Amino acid sequence: MSSRNSSLENDECDSAQSNLIENQLRVVEHTDHIINYQNCTVLLCARCNLVLCDSLGVCGDAKNIKSIICLKVTKDVSVKEKLEVCLEGPLAFCTYKVIECVGCYRVVGVVLHSTPQHLSSLRNLFLLRKEVLNCYLLKNGTMVKASRISFENRPLKKNINELKQDLEAQLKQLDLLKGMLGEMSIDRMKRRFGATTSHSTFSDSDE
């Protein structure tokens, strides 16, 4: 009787611990960040006013090419399939794809694919040209030219490295928690199988 009670207590303990770990997994996988949207800026096509991006997707200015560096854009931005080559200017010796506004088909920027070393941190990011954008400031409800706004931030390479480190840390935490859940499930099954076998043996001996 005592062994059965002990087994029940262990199962209850394991169940509580499993629930705790599962809750931690949900927290890691679905982390919500509090965002102050009043401080956000919306980037619009200066010709047709379609929304192309917002400041939540912006990670800095590329001053040498007068562009805003974006990690993500809206569905109203189209990346052309054709790969082109630039032979002169600040993007000399770069291959890139053109970005268009789907509303007016105006070229609003590029996505760089291969670059010289000094532009390597800009590869595969959306580079929106300031001269063809307007910015709507949510805080005071005003529209200004993008060329008048500075999105200068910490070095892009540092931002990406920090993001990569955060993601790697979260993946390690997920692997650890999932491993703990797997081990606990196996131990629980072993105990239950052992208890069932023991009960069956006692029944046979009684007969």
| Alpha-carbon gap, residue 119 to 123, rounded angstroms | 7
Parts of the chain with a pLDDT under 50: 1-13, 21, 27-33, 154, 202
Cα of first residue to Cα of last residue in the chain, in angstroms, is 19
| Alpha-carbon gap, residue 77 to 102, rounded angstroms | 6
> What's the confidence (pLDDT) of residue 10?
47
Q: Which residues contact 186 (CB under 8 A, 6 or more apart)?
A: none
> What's the confidence (pLDDT) of residue 139?
84
So where are the chain's domains? 37-153
**Distance between alpha carbon 26 and the CA centroid of its chain, in Å?**
16
| Alpha-carbon gap, residue 30 to 66, rounded angstroms | 36
pLDDT in tens, 65-124: 999 999 889 999 999 999 999 999 999 999 999 999 999 999 999 999 999 988 888 899
Please tell me the CATH superfamily of domain 37-153, with its number.
Peptide methionine sulfoxide reductase. (2.170.150.20)
Distances (CA, A) of 71 to 16, 56, 79, 124: 40, 9, 14, 9
